[in-house]
Amino acid sequence: MATDSRASMVRSAASLIRSRGVSATSLSDVLADSGAPRGSIYHHFPEGKKQIAEDAIRWTSERLLAHLRAGAPSRPSDVLERFIDVWRRTVVASGGTAGCVVAGVAIDTVPDETGLIELVRATFRSWAALLAEQLEAAGVPSRRAKPIAMATLAGMEGALILCRAEGNVKPLDAVAEELMRLLPPEKSGRRKRPVHSS
Q: CB–CB of 80/44 below 8 Å?
A: no
What dihedral angle (degrees, nearest 10) is formed by the CA atoms of 28, 124, 109, 57? 20
What dihedral angle (degrees, nearest 10) is formed by the CA atoms of 96, 97, 103, 107? 130
Rounded to an integer, what distance in angstroms lies between the CA atom of residue 61 and that of residue 68?
10
pLDDT of residue 129: 98
Q: CB–CB of 127/153 below 8 Å?
A: yes
Q: CB–CB of 74/151 below 8 Å?
A: no
Instruction: Determine the distance from the C-alpha atom of residue 37 to the mean position of all C-alpha atoms in its chain, rounded to a whole number.
Output: 29
Residues in the chain, overall count: 198
CB-based burial label for 83 (10 Å; 0-12, 13-18, 19+): buried
Rounded to an integer, what distance in angstroms lies between the CA atom of residue 189 and that of residue 169?
29
pLDDT of residue 198: 46
pLDDT of residue 174: 98
pLDDT of residue 144: 97
Q: CB–CB of 13/102 below 8 Å?
A: no
Domains for the chain: give ranges and CATH numbers. Answer: 56-180 (1.10.357.10)
pLDDT, one tens digit for every residue, the chain (198 residues): 456 888 999 999 999 999 988 888 888 899 999 988 888 888 888 888 899 999 999 999 999 999 999 977 789 999 999 999 999 999 999 988 899 999 999 988 876 777 899 999 999 999 999 999 999 999 999 999 999 999 999 999 999 999 999 999 999 999 999 999 999 987 654 445 555 644
Amino acid found at 139: G
